[in-house]
């Protein structure tokens, strides 16, 4: 045990020396909620606690150290853990991602930050061909305990090359786990679970949620708290229609459910949390209760997360459906830069409300038909 720790320390020291010369500054169902925490604080606290608990955990990426992180997720960690464990890298995703995967081969637990997941395209060979496939290709002899994290999907006014959702891309790949937190509880619990996991995890955050605060229960603040990978959460119970969503779209789905309730439609909102593995059991159990389904995602519609959910329900719960499944997704176009067009390119609360009404055969409000 001690020898393994020393060996890990030696490997990490060599990694640091290799990088340093080139580095550049380049209703919610919360129980006993005692305080509020924003998503940024939740992610930061999860990283801090896991680094304190396990010396093999280290961070690397552009501006994660001296600049405290492009989005301040890693604030204070360089001062606390030093440059051997918080590594500023050059602007070369292919390079530092490959180094991270190699470090994971040697028993370390790297957390690799992409300034945006759009930049992970530069490193996708290492993520898929090296990280995701090595355990299988080595007959289980090689584990790759690595987390790839950063903001995913649209922010605001950053154009087509910085606005894409990669949930469906990475969820397509056997060997990867793909997580999509919504709340502070999700962010904290899922990131801690991801760091402890023996397999590579793609951790898709949302930039627009970083500053959003959520009620957080006392048990979530315990250092041992984790959210199980592969388990969805029912954010709001209902009986008339199921709405599945992940990341920022969970908030939109909850807003839509509140509007629907005023028109006599009881919507159940499922926060997927995990895209791969997908909690098919929770989705199908809800659909068997409500008999209707609306899927919501920011990504492109073709071959998307909603399509996979729809197929799962068709395979396991088709006889329970009382209406066709409704799919809400981003427009099938590169994201426009103009603010008015950008808004039209992504799902809005009204889109979810209309889809739920169609599923319930209530295209017009009860007041309009009275």
Q: Report how far residue 305's alpha carbon sits from residue 300's, in angstroms, rounded to the nearest whole number.
A: 9
Q: Alpha helices, DSSP H only, in 263-337?
A: 280-290, 305-317
What separation in angstroms does the CA of 241 have from each of 91, 201, 244, 321, 369? 46, 31, 10, 10, 21
Catalytic residue status for 303: no
Total residue count of the chain as it appears in this document: 370
Contact call for residues 238 and 292 (beta carbons, < 8 A): no
Catalytic residue status for 162: yes
Phi, psi (5° rounding) for residue 177? -110, 140
Residue 195's closest CA among 337, 59, 33?
Answer: 59
User: What is the longest distance spanned by two Cα atoms in the chain?
Assistant: 77
Catalytic residue among 49, 113, 126, 162: 162
Q: Report how far residue 45's alpha carbon sits from residue 123's, in angstroms, rounded to the nearest whole number.
A: 27
Q: What is the DSSP string of 191-242?
A: HHHHHH-SS-EEEEE-GGGTT-EEEEEGGGGSTT--PPTT--EEEE--SSEE
Residue 181's closest CA among 331, 345, 60, 37?
Answer: 37
Catalytic residue among 93, 185, 207, 297: 93
Close Cβ partners of 218 (under 8 Å, ≥ 6 residues apart)? 32, 34
Cα of 112 vs its chain's centroid, Å:
14
Just list the catalytic residues. Answer: 93, 162
């Amino acid at each position: 045990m001690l020898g393994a720790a020393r060996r890990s320390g030696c490997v990490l020291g060599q990694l640091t020396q290799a990088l340093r010369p080139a580095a550049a500054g380049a209703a919610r169902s919360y129980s006993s909620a005692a305080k509020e925490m924003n998503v940024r604080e939740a992610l930061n606290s999860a990283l801090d606690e896991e680094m304190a608990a396990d010396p093999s955990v280290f961070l690397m990426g552009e501006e994660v150290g001296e600049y405290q992180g492009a989005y301040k997720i890693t604030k204070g960690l360089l001062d606390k853990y030093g440059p051997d464990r918080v590594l500023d890298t050059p602007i070369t995703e292919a390079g530092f991602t490959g180094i991270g995967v190699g470090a994971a081969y040697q028993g370390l637990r790297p957390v690799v930050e992409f300034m945006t997941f759009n930049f992970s395209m530069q490193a996708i060979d290492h993520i898929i061909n090296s990280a995701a496939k090595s355990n299988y290709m080595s007959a289980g002899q090689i584990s790759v305990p690595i987390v790839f994290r950063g903001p995913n999907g649209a922010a605001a006014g950053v154009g087509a090359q910085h606005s894409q959702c990669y949930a469906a891309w990475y969820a397509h790949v056997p060997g990867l786990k793909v997580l999509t937190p919504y709340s502070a509880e999700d962010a904290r619990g899922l990131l801690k679970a991801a760091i402890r996991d023996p397999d590579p995890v793609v951790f898709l955050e949302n930039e627009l949620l970083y500053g959003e605060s959520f009620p957080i229960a006392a048990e979530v603040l315990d250092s041992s708290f984790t959210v199980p990978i592969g388990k969805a959460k029912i954010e709001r119970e209902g009986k008339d229609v199921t709405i599945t969503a992940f990341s920022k779209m969970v908030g939109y789905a909850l807003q839509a459910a509140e509007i629907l309730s005023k028109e006599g439609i009881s919507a159940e909102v499922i926060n997927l949390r995990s895209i791969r593995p997908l909690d098919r059991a929770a989705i199908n159990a809800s659909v068997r209760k409500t008999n209707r389904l609306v899927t919501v995602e920011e990504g492109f519609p073709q071959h998307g997360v909603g399509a996979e959910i729809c197929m799962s329900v068709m395979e396991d719960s088709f006889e329970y459906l009382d209406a066709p499944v409704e799919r809400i997704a981003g427009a099938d176009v590169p994201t426009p830069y103009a603010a008015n067009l950008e808004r039209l390119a992504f799902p809005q609360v009204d889109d979810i409300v209309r889809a739920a009404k169609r599923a319930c055969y209530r295209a017009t409000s009860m007041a309009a038909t009275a």
